[in-house]
Structure 1
Amino acid sequence: MPVPKSEFDSLPPCDFYTPKELFETDQMYTVYEIARLLQGLEADVNIDRETEDILLDWAIPWIMTNADDLVVAEPRHDDEPGYYGLKE
């Protein structure tokens, strides 16, 4: 159900990192690592599954929105996700 804006103390702009701000140019990242980076966490930090699921809700649309600036690599093994990196 919608909530009036007046119920919130602060309404900062909805700004997200650009791929260039988030990624190292010579690295590839999984969607899980991207989810952590978008929240200001280290890519390899250990988080619980429930939190990770919430963070993925932010990461997947971010990847889709920034697809023109990204390259993708297929998983190296059947049990790992694909990888994303900066398009050069």
Structure 2
Amino acid sequence: MPVPKAEFETIHPATFYEPADLLEPDQMYTVYEIARLLQELDPDAEIDQETEAILLDWAIPWIMVHADDLVVAEPRADDEPGYYGLATE
């Protein structure tokens, strides 16, 4: 249900990182690492599963919106996620 803006103490602009501003060109990242980076956390930061699920809600659409600027690598093992990196070509 919509909520009036007046109910919020602070409202921030919806600005998001561009891939080149977030990712190192010579590195590949999991969606979990990207989710942390989007929140200005270390890619290896320990967070609880509930928080991680919320961060993924932001990261997955970000990846899809910026798909033209990214490359994808298959998981190295069946129990690993895929990896995303900055397209350099």
TM-score (normalizing by structure 2): 0.95
2:11 alignment partner in structure 1: 11
The aligned length equals: 88
Report the Cα offset of residue 8 of structure 1: 1.7
Instruction: Report matched runs for 1:3-82 at 5 Å.
Output: 3-82=3-82
User: Aligned partners of 1:29 and 1:80: how far apart in 2?
Assistant: 12
**TM-score of the pair, normalised by structure 1:** 0.96
Structure 1 stretches of 4+ moved >6 Å: none
How far does the alpha carbon of each residue in 1:9-32 deviate from its partner, in whole angstroms, 9 at most, with x for none?
A: 222210011100100010000000
Query: Does the residue aligned with 2:28 lie in a helix, a strand or coil?
Result: coil
The residue type paired with residue 59 of structure 1 is: A
Q: Deviations over 1:32-75 (max 9, x none)?
A: 00000000000001111111111100000000000000000000
The amino acid across from 2:65 in the alignment is T
**How many percent identity over aligned positions?**
73
Q: Using the alignment, how far apart are the partners of 2:11 and 2:47 within structure 1? A: 27
Unaligned stretches of 5+ residues in structure 2: none
Q: Give the 3-state SS of the residue equivalent to 2:12 in structure 1.
A: coil
